[in-house]
Amino acid sequence: MDIVLNSVCVGTGYLLNGFIVLNTELDGFNCSDGCFSLIASANNVNVDVNTWHARLGHIGQDRMNRLAREGLLGSFNKIELPVCENCLAGKTTRKPFGKGTRAENPLQLIHSDICGPMSVKARHGASYFITFIDDFSRFGHVYLISHKSEALDCFKLYLNLVENQLDKRVKALRTDRGREYLSDQFKELCDEKGIHRQLTIPRTPQQNGVAERRNRTLLEMVRSMMAQASLPVQYWGDALLTATYVLNRVPSKSVSSTPYELWTGRKPNLTFLRPWGCAGYVHDPSNKYGKLGARGKKCIFIRYSEHSKGYVLIGENSDGSVTEIESRDVNFLENEFPKRGEVDKDIRFYELDNLIEDSNLNTPLDVNVDLSGTSVPSGSEAPLEVNIDLPGTSVPSGSNDVVETTLLDLPSRRSNRGNVPRRRFEIEGEAFMVASHDADEPKNVNEALKSPDKEHWIKAMKEEMDSMKSNHVWD
């Protein structure tokens, strides 16, 4: 075998056991760098693919094939790497989250998650909120809560509400592995109702991506709404309930139409919507200011009424306290956002970074669970939409009923009776003490005698004096 370098024979040799043995006794033999390169190439004739893989720092099969096509890996033309345990140890990553099977009917699968705690409590003490989202329609319900332990009570309320509305049964519930979802009471309720549990793998929030993304969307809406309005950050609970109401009535990439239409079978009435935090004059039917007195009171819109065809607004009383007013007779000033209390435009009540990113939100968990023995009757009509024709920015008159509620700052307390459900704040309307309160109620006798209701005040004072005398208060 002749060894040629640049058309010059630099030596001879012969092949022995896969090696080229050089004849160094040849006259004029010069072992240059080129010879060493040639010798190294000869030594690579029988190198196996695993050795090449190790030499190349455990690069991937595609890169090795490119080297092989260029003739740089000896006799290899194509590389097929076997399983390399060293690569598994050093390169293993999480598998992609593909699309899961979507529910085909309402209540077939419910997603739930708890978000919080917020750095600022809502004005009535809520620090968390819990969401329940129907997989088929993406119609969502939100409950404001002060403790995670209230999740079970909220789920009971949700079950009673939606199963009665749709005349269907919840088949499956998907949650993370939070302790509030893994309690014995929660498990017993699901077993009793025949609800299949779907729990995410630990530290894998992507498998509960529908609820995680809903939380993020709601908080983004709340931030934007509060940035436009001029209300304290403690009103985030009201903004959240408003965002939930709106989100159920707008299109979603996940469904063919709006969640409300898939949930109820009717299109939503968007003319009823108003900017959160805007001003509005509420009609006052009491005539307490006389025939020439004002018939409207300027208030601030904070959320939609859950139980009535109307809005919930707040108005400030003469003593600085706040009164909630629920009415349908409101003339809105949609470009005016009155200031109430201390307003911080740097809204940081919850870090959105705590929620997972948009990518990899889909989950391969199957919703087609086998629930043999569970009866699922056919659906029926859902609650009626608030169908009010709103020309311009005014709400048509009809009923003049105005409901006022005085907000009381009640300190939150814990029960001493062990694991007892605590006070809840629901999307259907937070629980307030209802009181008959007049913003301009007389503060003394002189004001009472000068008011338009003088005769009523005199009668009331006389009745009070007579009562005190009959009960011998001064004896």
Contact indicator for 332, 274 with CB cutoff of 8 Å = yes
Are residues 125 and 233 both part of a single domain? Answer: yes
Phi, psi of 323 (to 5 degrees): -120, 130
Number of domains in the chain: 3
The three-state secondary structure class of 42 is helix
349 compared with 367, residue with greater pLDDT: 349
Same domain, 242 and 198: yes
Closest CA to 193 of 375, 71, 340: 375
Mean of per-residue pLDDT scores for the chain: 75
Pair (84, 115) in one structural domain:
no
Is residue 436 in a domain? no
pLDDT over 60 at 431, yes or no: no
Q: Are 308 and 392 part of one and the same domain?
A: yes
> Which has the closest alpha carbon to 151: 124, 206, 189?
189
pLDDT band at 447 (very low <50, low <70, confident <90, very high): confident
Q: Are 267 and 251 in contact (CB under 8 A)?
A: no
The per-residue pLDDT for 100 is: 60
Position 346 in a domain? yes
Q: Are residues 270 and 390 in the same domain?
A: yes
Query: Using one digit for the tens of pLDDT, what is the confidence trace for 404-416?
Result: 444 434 344 444 4
Residue 104 falls within a domain, yes or no?
Answer: no
Q: Are 457 and 442 in contact (CB under 8 A)?
A: yes
Q: Directed axis angle between helix 184-193 and helix 151-166, to 10°?
A: 10
Residue identified by tokens 């990439």 is 253
Q: What is the pTM of this model?
A: 0.60
Q: What token pair was written down for 126? A: 């809520």
Q: Which two tokens stand for residue 43?
A: 């030594």
Res 206 pLDDT > 70: no
Could you tell me which of 301, 303, 297, 333 has the C-alpha nearest to residue 314? Answer: 301
| 433 found inside a domain | no
Q: Which domain holds residue 399?
A: 110-426
What mean pLDDT is predicted for residues 382-402? 39
Per DSSP bridges, beta strands 140-145 and 172-175 are: unpaired
Beta bridge partners of 140: 133
81 and 210 assigned to the same domain: no
- Write the CA distances from 124 to 201, 226, 229, 234, 238, integer angstroms: 35, 18, 19, 9, 10
Rounded Cα–Cα distance for residues 219 and 236 (Å): 9
Q: Is residue 79 part of a domain?
A: yes
Based on the domain organization, do 48 and 144 belong to the same domain?
A: no
Band of the pLDDT at 351, cuts 50, 70, 90?
low
Residues 81 and 125 in one domain: no
